[in-house]
Amino acid sequence: MSANPRSLALDTLAGIGRGKYGNIAVDTVLKRSDLSEADRHLFTALVYGVIERQVTLDFLIDQFSDRPTDALDEPLRLALRMGLYQLIYMDRIPDHAAVGETVALLPKRTRGYANAILRSYLRQSGASREHTLTSPKAWGERYPVLRDPASAAKGFTPETVAFGVPLTMWEVYVQALGYAEACAVLSAFSHKPPLTLRVNPLRQATEALDTELTNEGLSPESGLYLSTALRLPISGDITRLPGFASGAFFVQDEASQLCVAVLGAQPGDTVIDTCACPGSKSFGMGMDMNNQGCIFAFDLHESKLSLIQKNAERLGLSIISVARRDARDPDPALIGKADRVLCDVPCSGLGVMAKKPELRHKDLSESSRLPGIQADILEASSRYVKDGGVLVYSTCTLLPEENQNIICAFLEKHPEFSPVDFKISAKNPAVRDVCSQNGMLTLLPHLHGTDGFFIAKLTKQQRNQTS
């Protein structure tokens, strides 16, 4: 496979535009190519960066091109996005290299056109590049055309260009969160999040792993809330990190770790994870249980279950049993038998946009059926809970129709369940405490420093407490 990172990025972006998943496409190239470490980083940065900033880049192309971006042929359009991304967001690449190397990817008939647009941008921007514009107000002041209704008709507004999201996605966030909160969340999604590890106390203490990582020059930081969390300002192949092979950790955002902490699994419990893949929450529960008790990890996708089993073995967790099961169809043998049930349902994923930039371009009509599925899964999962047991519902989205609305409707139908408030104090003064209201909490990246995430905790009353 070609060892030119820009050429590979161009081909990969074309494939993603035709429906391939970004992370799968990138991983495939990295496995098959012989790129140097520096070129691997360049390739990855270009692919994810162009996806993340596509709306912004298309607006800028629109300012310098005599044709709208969607009227350009695909290689030219992608190359212009890549070239502008390098000029604006990659300070270590000289301007002449960003322009020359990008233009060279194109056939001769379009090289002059691409070169003219990129150099027009350089002349206009001078030393002041658009990455310094971090708010809708700043974009609107630099480009008054963004306040023109004709720009909005093309999908370009101060907000969509500032945050790099299509107009339909911006409107969804505003409806869900309000204008100010939507701006804050999308601004947070524009910053690359750290890699967060969940340390496995069955294998190694947090302090010992911290020391190993520090000795490798990786500069780990303590978790914001939990003593088992370590944050690394890196990305890449986690299998190369110290402690991976010995099962000292797995990757898990602290929002997901907090969800497991709220469930509160104890040694000896019977726990059911109804939508378990890729398994991180089952692993966290197994560690909280000190590998004592029983965890049933179910998932609809049988092909993914082997990954749970493989990682459970690496982590030294023998109490996890995996099986294929539709979460809407509970196992009759386990009805009323579980001390704790985790219902982490399929969702639109709009809380993890910082890690999955292709979500910015998600067709939200595909998510319209999710609330019905989520309600059915919660209904079925609740049947597993024994009297006095705990049920946690969670998603990695921020939409009320997939979160609060589901819980409120469930509680109206099930008076035997009650919300339980929870609180976890922050260890870092830069973030807020985790503190629920009516048993529900939405974690927000700009307030909690985690993925966007929703957690609801319910308990089933003892029979002698019901009337």
Q: Specify which residues 394 forms β-bridges with.
A: 344, 455
Strand-strand pairing, 385-395 and 338-344? parallel
Strand-strand pairing, 249-251 and 229-232? unpaired
Strand-strand pairing, 320-324 and 294-299? parallel
List the pLDDT tens digit at each of the 467 positions of the chain. Answer: 557 999 999 999 999 877 777 888 898 898 888 889 899 999 999 999 999 999 999 999 999 998 878 889 999 999 999 999 999 999 999 999 999 999 999 999 999 999 999 999 999 887 788 999 999 999 999 999 999 999 999 999 999 999 999 999 999 999 999 999 999 999 999 999 999 999 999 999 999 999 999 999 999 999 999 999 999 987 777 888 999 999 999 999 999 999 999 999 999 999 999 999 999 999 999 999 999 999 999 999 999 999 999 999 999 999 999 999 999 999 999 999 999 999 999 999 999 999 999 999 998 888 899 999 999 999 999 999 999 999 999 999 999 999 999 999 999 999 999 999 999 999 999 999 999 999 999 999 999 999 999 999 999 998 765 44
Q: Enumerate residues 6+ apart whose C-beta is below 8 A from 128.
A: none
Backbone angles phi, psi at 264, to 5 degrees: 70, 40
- pTM for the complete prediction? 0.94
91-99, Cβ contacts within 8 angstroms, sequence gap of 24 or more: 95/122
Question: Which of the residues 294, 347, 396, 408 is marked catalytic?
Answer: 396
**What confidence score (pLDDT) does residue 17 get?**
79
**What confidence score (pLDDT) does residue 31 get?**
87
Greatest alpha-carbon span in the chain? 81
Secondary structure of the chain in the HEC alphabet? CCCCHHHHHHHHHHHHHCCCCHHHHHHHHHHHCCCCHHHHHHHHHHHHHHHHCHHHHHHHHHHHCCCCHHHCCHHHHHHHHHHHHHHHHCCCCCHHHHHHHHHCCCCHHHHHHHHHHHHHHHHHHCCCCHHHCCCHHHHHHHCHHHHCHHHHHCCCCHHHHHHCCCHHHHHHHHHHHCHHHHHHHHHHHCCCCCEEEEECCCCCCHHHHHHHHHHCCCCCEECCCCCCEEEECCCCCHHHCCCCCCCCEEECCHHHHHHHHHHCCCCCCEEEECCCCCCHHHHHHHHHCCCCCEEEEEECCHHHHHHHHHHHHHCCCCCEEEEECCCCCCCHHHCCCEEEEEEECCCCCCCCCCCCHHHHHCCHHHHCCHHHHHHHHHHHHHCCEEEEEEEEEEECCCCHHHCHHHHHHHHHHCCCEEECCCEECCCCCCCCCEECECCEEEECHHHHCCCCEEEEEEEECCHHHCC
CB atoms within 10 A of CB 40: 18
CA distances in angstroms from 375 to 345, 369, 417, listed in the order given: 9, 11, 15
Secondary structure of 292-336 in the HEC alphabet? CCEEEEEECCHHHHHHHHHHHHHCCCCCEEEEECCCCCCCHHHCC
Q: Enumerate residues 6+ apart whose C-beta is below 8 A from 149.
A: none
Instruction: Report the alpha-carbon distance of residue 395 to residue 348 in Å, rounded.
Output: 9
**What confidence score (pLDDT) does residue 467 get?**
42
Q: Where are the domains of the chain?
A: 254-465
Told to judge if 277 belongs to the known catalytic residues of this protein, a careful annotator would answer no
Domain 254-465 in CATH 3.40.50.150? The answer is: yes
Q: Specify which residues 340 forms β-bridges with.
A: 271, 390
Is the torsion defined by CA of 275, 240, 85, 187 positive or negative? positive
Whether the Cβ atoms of residue 81 and residue 70 lie closer than 8 Å to each other: no
Q: Which residue type, as a one-letter code, is found at position 438?
A: N
Whether the Cβ atoms of residue 40 and residue 9 lie closer than 8 Å to each other: no
